[in-house]
Amino acid sequence: MPQPFRVVTWNINSLRLRQGLLPDLIGALDPDVICLQETKCPDDLFPPELAAAIGFPHVLFRGMKGYNGVATFSRTPIRRHETTQDWVGRNDCRHLAAEVDARGGPLVIHNFYVPAGGDIPDPAVNPKFAHKLDFVAAARDHFAATPDLRRSILVGDLNIAPLEHDVWSHKQLLKIVSHTPVETALHTEWQQTCFTDGLRHFVPPEEKLYTWWSYRARDWLAADRGRRLDHVWVTHDLRGALRRHVILKDARGWTQPSDHVPVCVELSL
């Protein structure tokens, strides 16, 4: 009997500030695994009772002071996977790979927080943009070496909106970091190493699709100038198991919201 398996990715933008929203997320999506980014929480300050309190007793995290940080919560036991790494030699807590028990055997879930890249889309003058390009290229090269990867899911805030209709205006964002041709080309190369785009599997490319709306808009809902920065990819063997997706846009209107909303993909395993 196949079982649903739901994975959620959410850039929570401070775990300690927004942990009280997790029960709302769980009530809306009933996930099996939750991957968070931008926890901004050092490991020794990770709330010790949180995982049990929300019904996800198995949790792994990699955090640091002030910036970045990822955490993966699971209903069932998980183990840190040996492919967890730093990618470009900085210990800045942007990746966590976990092996999760599921029907049919373990799944490996990669939780990524790709560098945002600063404002100027030129690696020669902006070291943050250079770091972003180097990071994505390193991740691409890693997965290019394992083209037959199976039972793996890659999620996270990848900070790149790859397709024309992943942004509110393709033409106006071509020189804006997150949608420049050099980034979207690298992003596509990375995805095509091993993975199917789990959101565009359900939504045709000519349809607008966003997961992030800036804090800086006067009225984010009315302006609707969003971008699709958060992604769920699955290895090709799992493509036939994809059942549905949810982009929890309501979460952008919650009290004291993140600027990203939770994204859920359900597979039938």
The DSSP secondary-structure symbol of 94 reads: -
Nearer to DNA, 11 or 152 (CB): 11
What element of type H or E holds 24? helix 22-29
Looking at the Cβ atoms of 75 and 128, the one nearer to DNA is 128
Q: Min. distance of Cβ 40 from DNA in angstroms?
A: 4
222 binds DNA (CB under 7 A): no
Interface segment toward DNA; rule CB under 7 A; list 12-20, 81-89, 197-205, 241-249:
12-20
Task: Please give the structure tokens belonging to residue 169.
Answer: 């205006």
Interface with DNA (CB under 7 A), residue from 2, 20, 43, 67: 67
Among 75, 79, 81, 128, binds DNA (CB under 7 A): 128
Quote the CA–CA distance of 61 and 136 in Å, as a whole number.
21
184-209 burial code (b ≥16 CB/10 A, e <16):
bebbeebbebbbbbbbbeeeeeeeeb
The whole-angstrom separation of Cα 72 and Cα 80 is 10
Selected binder of DNA within 4, 24, 26, 42 (CB under 7 A): 42
> How many C-alpha atoms does 16 have within 13 Å on its Cβ side?
15
78 to 117: interface string for DNA, x by CB under 7 A: -------------------------------------xxx
Taking CB under 7 A as the rule, does residue 123 contact DNA?
no
Specify which residues 227 forms β-bridges with: 167, 212
Interface positions with DNA (CB under 7 A): 13-14, 16-17, 40, 42, 65-67, 115-118, 128, 159, 214-216, 256
